[in-house]
Amino acid sequence: MTNPLLSDWETPFGLPPFDLISDEDFAPAVDAALAQSRANIAAIADNPEAPTFANTIEALEQADETLSRVLGAFYNIAGADSNPKREALQRDFAPLLSAYGSEVSENKALFARVEAIWAARDALDLTDEQQRVLMLTRRGFVRSGAQLEGEAAEKLRAVKSRLSVLGTNFTQNLLADEREWFMPLAEGDLSGLPDFVVATAKAAGAEKDAGGPVVTLSRSLIVPFLQFSDRRDLRQKAYEAWGARGANGGKTDNRGIAAETLKLREERAKLLGYDTFADFKLETEMAGTPAAVRDLLMQVWEPAKASAEADAKMLERMLHADGFDGPLEPWDWRYYSEKRRKQLHDLDEAELKPYLQLDRMIEASFACANRLFGLEFQPIEGPVYHPDVRLWEVTRDGAHVAVFIGDYFARGSKRSGAWCSAMQSQHRLGKDVRPHVVNVCNFAKPEAGKPALLSYDDARTLFHEFGHALHQMLSDVTYESISGTSVARDFVELPSQLYEHWLEVPEVLAEFATHADTGAPMPEDLLQRMLGAATYDMGFQTVEYVASALVDLEFHNGSAPADPMQRQTEILDEIGMPHAIRMRHATPHFAHVFAGDGYSSGYYSYMWSEVMDADAFAAFEEAGDPFDSATAKRLEETVLSSGGSVDAADLYTAFRGRLPGVEALLKGRGLDKAA
């Protein structure tokens, strides 16, 4: 019987035939695809004809077509709907794929062809896009160790292989801790919880077959529990379990993995001739150097810390007024901050949430994309990997643009967080390929028959991930390697963070923030109170983020620490971390940094991009219309359609005329007056 992963996909728009694929199909499909890729690489390297851009660089672009298709389907389902079989496959695939990558980068005949084209590039009449692809291809070979010989090459191969295994293990350990812990709630334990939190806890209990409501380690449940629960003892128990993910001892403990990962990254950097891993990693980013990253973070750290410390004093007084002695603790912050928000802004989440229905916020994100870029979204039927997944065809002026895939609800089989990926990326080499773009979130699933309600933070997350999706959908390049979000790590968050601004446009909320029961629009006074509270508690949010970014940077900007937990404590002490705030991502569950190389030395990227997004939205404000068509067209033509075909700084300058400073970010976060 033909493996469905390797046959032609006769499905709507060529989507993976998830209804036909079984877990047993993945391993033989990966084996066959790897064999095909190896044959393609050998044919390129051994080609007797002189190297040309077409027979070498373009051939490399197409060498892994089948492998990319198989892995696109596999890793999407492995991250969003895992099971023991899929987790075992991830562990099996990691060293296989690392070995294949090393084979390609160490293929001397292949690299010689690339070098020959590079040396002759000025005489080849290449387009700007081809020049860029050539530069990036050669740079990728060099940074992967193509110029290393003998023992050094063997060491690097072993390091990369081990790192791929460690990243997979880190992710699976974290998922296991998040999946296995829950705290049952008796009737008396529900004190202070609004109906929507109780309903979410009951739904989580039903999923766990716990016989009643529970608190899990899903952010969409534990955060509102910490905001509203009157039971300080239960808040502490839940918070400490949340903070202990990956650090509970036993087989799922990630502390040893983190230590080994940092040591191997340092070794990798030194083999390639860099002083530190941060120097290696940041060389290709907009920031360029660790010093530039630290400078940005510290410009924000001091005002954020001052704001947070002032807030902490207010919250601690509220704690004492409730009869509790001692300092404000991390499990107290969200509870008293929610009470203070109610006092200052006459706003609480229980009042707000019925107006932020998931379906209406999806409609809002689509409507903004329509007004800005002319995109239209039509629900379609097709094969999906889980019943919760939804599909839309995206068109413009009647022409097919993309398939958008939404997977919004938390479940035990899904890793935490929210992300955007492309099971198929846009490119025009050989044929016109349109993208299949996936947004995955972890919103609380409602009881059957009830609408899904979001917090304002959830709604921002939805818009954020959809901004990434637009970057993929609107991509208009020839080569897949520079398509969509294939850009510098500290530029990739610009489109996503910029798109969040449209959620704050009053006319958008006036149309789409409608009550789940009555259908009535959000009252004007509530709308203004919500927008007025947009920067509330921003000291806390900024401190927990910047602390994580600084720890990530310092971990990689020097000798690898033997004990990362001790070094984490030292770094936080050095910057004066407030007692009642902890890192957003402590080391044992810092998946951005330890699940793979993506954000290692790069967690600062969100803030680097925020400097740009605050300034970029100002372009629409200066035009006098958040939907100004000329500004939107310029944004698409420079940033959104270009992928990695142009240097990120040049793209932004083409859109805005200059690079921005940190002032707009501080103003946007309400920290410009902090002292």
Give catalytic residue positions: 465
DSSP string, 185-253: --GGGGTT--HHHHHHHHHHHHHHT-SS-EEES-HHHHHHHHHH-S-HHHHHHHHHHHHTTT-SSGGG-
Q: What angle do CA 129, 133, 136 make, to 5 degrees?
A: 135
User: Which of 497, 450, 445 is CA-nearest to residue 218?
Assistant: 445
DSSP state of 352: H
What CA–CA distance (Å, rounded) separates 171 from 87? 10
Are the beta carbons of 282 and 288 closer than 8 angstroms? yes
The whole-angstrom separation of Cα 489 and Cα 501 is 21
Question: What is the Cα–Cα distance from 107 to 637, expressed in whole angstroms?
Answer: 37
Is the CB of residue 374 less than 8 Å from the CB of residue 396?
yes
**526 neighbors 378 (Cβ within 8 angstroms):** no
- β strands within 329-469, DSSP E: 376-380, 390-396, 399-409, 419-424, 436-443
User: Which spans in 56-149 are helix H?
Assistant: 59-62, 65-80, 84-105, 108-119, 128-143
Beta bridge partners of 83: none
Which residue in this structure is represented by tokens 């036993």?
Answer: 250
Sign of CA dihedral 656, 657, 658, 662: negative
One-letter amino acid of 289: T
Rg (CA), the chain: 25
In the block, tokens 């389907």 appear at 73
* Distance, CA of 195 to CA of 198 (rounded, Å): 5
Amino acid at 607: M
Provide the CA 258 distance to its chain's centre, in angstroms.
20
* Widest pairwise Cα distance in the chain: 83
Contact 537, 337 (CB under 8 A): yes
**Dihedral (Cα; 5, 387, 508, 227), 10-degree rounding:** -120
Output 6-10 pairs: Cβ under 8 A, ≥24 positions apart: 6/32, 6/33, 6/66, 6/70
d(CA 539, CA 546): 10
Pairing, β 390-396 against β 399-409: antiparallel
Q: How far apart are the first and last CA of the chain?
A: 69
Residue type, 656: R
Return phi, psi of residue 355, to 5°.
-90, -5
